[in-house]
Amino acid sequence: MSLQVDNIHKNFGSDDRLVEVLRGVSLEISAGGAVAIMGPSGSGKSTLLHIIGTLDPPISGKIIINGEEPFLLPEPELARFRNRVIGFVFQDHHLLPQYTVLENVLIPTLAFKQNGEDYEARARELLEKVGLSHRLDHRPAELSGGERQRVAFARALINKPSLLLCDEPTGNLDHATANSVASLLFELHKEEQNILIVVTHSMELAGRLENKYRLSEGILTKE
Ligand code: ADP
Ligand code: MG
């Protein structure tokens, strides 16, 4: 398991409205590594996370995940790669309101129905780890903010991703809930041995990660 981000550039717009968001960003993380990315609002943190998560290609530069260069894959294979290798957690939980907690966690497995894995058992196990075994049949609206984010962690981990990408995962939670949700995130990361990247405004959260980076003026620097 490894991640290599090599000299990424990204612009939005063109001509007099050109915004150079990333101006040569590089980063390397090996198995089990965990990093925080901080930086002012609008500095390109989400843009960088989207590129690492293979959701949006860079203008130039390379992303190499486990030795593979996903942006060289044609679209249907890229989507499968993303689904298999990358887990996302956003500031908003992005759970589907019409489905139960258990069903929400199983959604990323729908593409892999026929491979014989017992996804439901894994979903139940993850939901137990995040302390929600008693909420399997509840809908997102019946949960607290912290509980919804716990479901989002379980969903992000269901396919055993090599890479877990979190964009302000505690940004909408009160301080105490944010702390406990962050502790859970670190526990899950250690157990699953994935590579963890957390974008956060919280110095407290960033301080709990082994490596801290700052994105500013399109450049990523280690703190
Ligand atoms: P952060 O997550 O650090 O707050 P973002 O990555 O969301 O910052 O945005 C960085 C800059 O890129 C901002 O100036 C934003 O307006 C711009 N930007 C982001 N996405 C787009 C897009 N799809 N089209 C045009 N500009 C964008
Ligand atoms: Mg952002």
DSSP one-letter string for 70-112 = GGGS-HHHHHHHHHHHEEEE-SS----TTS-HHHHHHGGGGGG
Atom of ligand 1 nearest to the CA of 43: 3
Query: What pLDDT is attached to residue 112?
Result: 78
Query: What pLDDT is attached to residue 184?
Result: 92
CA-to-CA separations, 186 to 33, 66, 73, 100, 128, in angstroms, rounded? 11, 21, 31, 25, 16
Instruction: State which residues have CB under 5 angstroms from ligand 2, the bound ion.
Output: 46
Span from the CA of 45 to the centroid of ligand 2 (angstroms): 5
Give ligand 1 pocket residues (Cβ under 6 A). Answer: 12-13, 19, 21, 39, 41-47
pLDDT at 210 over 90: no
Residue among 38, 46, 47, 48 to mutate when testing ligand 1 (max atoms within 8 A of CB): 47
Span from the CA of 145 to the centroid of ligand 1 (angstroms): 26
Give percent of the chain above pLDDT 90. 90
What would the DSSP string read from start to end of 128-196?
A: HHTT-GGGTT--GGGS-HHHHHHHHHHHHHTT--SEEEEESTTTTS-HHHHHHHHHHHHHHHHHHT-EE
Atom of ligand 1 nearest to the CA of 215: 3
Residue among 21, 38, 88 to mutate when testing ligand 1 (max atoms within 8 A of CB): 21
Span from the CA of 45 to the centroid of ligand 1 (angstroms): 8
What would the DSSP string read from start to end of 27-44?
A: EEEETT-EEEEE--TTSS
- Neighbouring C-beta atoms of residue 48, cutoff 10 Å: 29
Query: What pLDDT is attached to residue 189?
Result: 95
Interval 83-138: pLDDT, tens: 999 999 999 989 999 999 999 999 999 887 777 789 999 999 999 999 999 999 99
Interval 162-188: pLDDT, tens: 999 999 999 999 999 999 999 999 999
Interval 41-61: pLDDT, tens: 999 999 999 999 999 999 999
pTM of the model: 0.95
